[in-house]
Amino acid sequence: MQKIERIAQLRDFLRPHRERRLGLVPTMGYLHEGHLSLIRQAAKECEQVVVSVFVNPLQFGPGEDLDRYPRDLERDQKLAGEAGADILFTPGVGEMYPNGAKTTVRITGLTDRLCGASRPGHFDGVATVVSKLFHIVEPDRAYFGQKDAQQVAVIQQMVQDLNFPVEVVSCPTVREADGLAMSSRNVYLSPEERKQAAILYKTLREATREREAGRLCRAAEAVQFIRERLEKAEGLLIDYVEVLSYPELEPLDRLDGDRSIAAVAVRLGSTRLIDNVIWPQEEGTRCTSP
């Protein structure tokens, strides 16, 4: 596997192989089983796989964890290679933003809610860096984890609105044995917090069962059901609990119609955790632009 830091070098490397189906897995590194499942899926479907590792300053707000975000490029390279990646693209900030960032890609509506409300500018940063990576790598397909469900919705919207010639593939959330969604940020958790963190998915699963049994019919009831259970967990601070249409992320009354998402964000100590379930349950999606 090749590790490449420079944009021009990556382009030179990829140019002779334009006829091969190319998959991109954009990451911020510190790879875990969630990322590896995306890389494996890309390797299954594509003839060449680029994994990018870039901790994108544009998507971090002031006071967030940009500086302490965990990094281990050597380990990433080994794991990505084993999972089937051909190239690890690891540009520095100066390579990605040599003259700052005068140009931003902004998606309205979708980005006002959930994490967009808690993290203003976050999704502009995501959309902008993903646009750059799409232009640098020119993949046929790009792979994202459904754990960041709002990110998937935002990227799909961007790809459709701007006619990116890229198929966006979202893959199911990968979880620890106790249900905690895999995240690079899980390393921030103390042993005590780590134990508590399982309550997020446990609660979402309970809500899913209640909905399937016909005992949760309205979005507001589902929000209340989840909120009541999370509020009982000691040391856990709720950022949001929302049940919205998916992928539109519009307010919703009844739950028996189209797809919906139950999404939560909490703080455990200094760590922010998010999780979600899609109703009815699904195994990832595919989306291309018109």
Is 29 marked as a binding-site residue? yes
Backbone torsions φ then ψ of 24, nearest 5 degrees? -120, 130
- 40-99 residues near a copy of itself, rule: CB under 8 A: 95, 98-99
Backbone torsions φ then ψ of 221, nearest 5 degrees? -65, -40
104 part of the interface to a copy of itself, by CB under 8 A: yes
249 part of the interface to a copy of itself, by CB under 8 A: no
The DSSP code sequence of 257-276 is: SS-EEEEEEEEETTEEEEEE
Stretch that binds a copy of itself, among 37-45, 155-163, 225-233, 269-277 (CB under 8 A): 155-163
Q: How far is the CB of 261 from a copy of itself (least distance, A)?
A: 18
SS3 state at 226: helix
The single residue among 62, 63, 191, 290 that binds a copy of itself, judged by CB under 8 A, is 290
Is 150 marked as a binding-site residue? no
CB distance 144 to 274 below 8 Å: no
Nearer to a copy of itself, 132 or 211 (CB): 132
CB distance 255 to 210 below 8 Å: no
Q: Is 135 a catalytic residue?
A: no
Is 34 marked as a binding-site residue? yes
- Contacts with a copy of itself by CB under 8 A: the residue count is 34
- 121-140 residues near a copy of itself, rule: CB under 8 A: 127-128, 131-132, 135-136, 138
Q: How far is the CB of 87 from a copy of itself (least distance, A)?
A: 16
- 167-196 residues near a copy of itself, rule: CB under 8 A: none
Nearer to a copy of itself, 23 or 84 (CB): 23
If you count them, how many residues does the chain have?
A: 290
Compute and round to an integer the Cα radius of gyration of the chain: 19
Nearer to a copy of itself, 160 or 224 (CB): 160
The DSSP code sequence of 45-99 is: H-SEEEEEE---GGGPPTTSSTTT----HHHHHHHHHHHT-SEEE---HHHH-BT
- Alpha carbon distances (Å) from 24 to 123, 134, 164, 281, 287: 19, 8, 14, 25, 15
The binding site for (R)-pantoate consists of 59, 151
The binding site consists of 28-35, 59, 145-148, 151, 174, 182-185
Catalytic residues: 35
The binding site for ATP consists of 28-35, 145-148, 174, 182-185
